[in-house]
Amino acid sequence: MKHEKKKGEGNISTVMQFVLLGFSDLPNLQGFLFGVFSMVYVIIIFGNSLIVIITNLDPALRKPMYFFLANFSSSEICYVSVTLPRILVSLWTQDRGISMLNCAIQMCFLHMLGATECFLLAVMACDRYVAICNPLHYPLIMNQRMCTQLAVGSWVSGIPVQIGQTCQIFSLHFCGSKLINHFYCDIPPILRLACGDTSAHEIPVYLVAVLFVAVPFMLILASYSKIISTILRLPTAQGCAKAFSTCSSHLLVVVLFFGSATITYLRPKSNHSARTDKLLSLFYTILTPMFNPMIYSLRNKDVITALKKILIKK
């Protein structure tokens, strides 16, 4: 495999193409991994598409909660499509080369959609807070206009920041190895390939991670602390069970997504290892999108009822 280089200023060689090592350390499992990831991709696309379709077809699900769930499932489809097709191509063809431009595009879209998911999860938590803690004002607060503004804000708010961060990362000189010990272009493994001291570039990465990961997560925690205290004051056990059932699915997705993302981006650089980064990234890039439809459908009676209606009609 040929890798292009061009001479920069001084004796620095600027890498024009990277190599995503991915699962190259498992040469005997390439076919097996291709099969597994192909099935996972089909499950993610089918399951999340089904949620989008159900929430749009059934009038009973035309509520803010399911509107945000449909947006979250749509973002999951886009999010996983940034990485998994590339992984499948690499496993099938054994061509692991990726140009710097394609690497930058992949990283930019990955983090833009990741920011969208973080904000949507925070918005969903706020929606549950208003529904449970202020039920009388819920229809007024979470009206159609407010829901649309929150959804649009979640989709677009990360775009300028992530474009700027991607430009900053790829303005660095990469004079060492071209081998990215990961299965997609992400910030930690890219920074490891840069020349010289990258600490000045790592500070903005931490600040962006705090803005898009830590802040939404703290907002979710604050919302659920209020929700739990309100639920515990409900007079009937049935009311408590219903409220907990409504929130438990969302909490499970939050723990899976934010837990792995927080450890990946906010832990000290000295604790980073390629193996750990790859393992953690599987959680928030592949496992969460796969489990999302199962968690929300199997633990939600309204979604199951809507699905039964559609199947009976068919």
DSSP secondary structure of 265-301: HHS-GGG--HHHHHHHHHIIIIIHHHHHHHHHHHT-H
Q: Please report, for residues 107, 203, 260, 277, 313, the alpha-carbon distance to residue 269 in angstroms, rounded to integers and kept in the order given.
A: 19, 11, 16, 11, 55
**Contact (Cβ atoms closer than 8 angstroms) between residue 198 and residue 272:** no
Reduce the DSSP state of residue 107 to 3 states and report it. Answer: helix
Write out the chain's pLDDT in tens, 314 residues.
444 444 444 444 456 788 888 888 778 888 899 999 999 999 999 999 989 998 888 888 889 989 999 999 999 999 999 999 999 999 898 888 899 899 999 999 999 999 999 999 999 989 989 988 888 999 999 999 999 999 999 999 999 999 999 999 998 888 767 888 888 898 888 888 888 777 777 888 888 888 888 889 899 889 888 888 888 777 666 656 666 666 776 777 787 777 777 776 666 655 556 677 777 778 778 888 888 887 777 667 777 887 777 777 76
Amino acid at site 225:
S
Domains of the chain: 12-313 (1.20.1070.10)
Cα–Cα distance between 2 and 87 in angstroms, integer?
20
Amino acid at site 170:
F
Residue 10 Rama label (left phi>0; alpha psi -120 to 50; beta):
left
Count of CB atoms within 10 A of residue 169's CB?
A: 21
**Contact (Cβ atoms closer than 8 angstroms) between residue 70 and residue 55:** yes
Amino acid at site 66:
Y
DSSP secondary structure of 108-155: HHHHHHHHHHHHHHHHHHHHHHHHHHSTTTHHHHT-HHHHHHHHHHHH
- pLDDT for position 214: 84
Q: What is the pTM of this model?
A: 0.85
Environment class of residue 73 by beta-carbon count within 10 Å: exposed (0-12), middle (13-18) or buried (19+)? buried
Longest dimension (CA), the chain: 74
Identify which of 106, 246, 248, 268 has the alpha carbon closest to the alpha carbon of residue 190: 106
Reduce the DSSP state of residue 99 to 3 states and report it. Answer: strand
**Contact (Cβ atoms closer than 8 angstroms) between residue 154 and residue 96:** no
- pLDDT for position 27: 81
Amino acid at site 48:
N
Helices marked H in the chain: 30-57, 64-93, 100-133, 138-141, 144-156, 159-169, 187-191, 199-209, 215-232, 237-266, 274-282, 288-298, 301-313
2 is written with which tokens? Answer: 């040929």
209 is written with which tokens? Answer: 């991670």
- pLDDT for position 236: 66
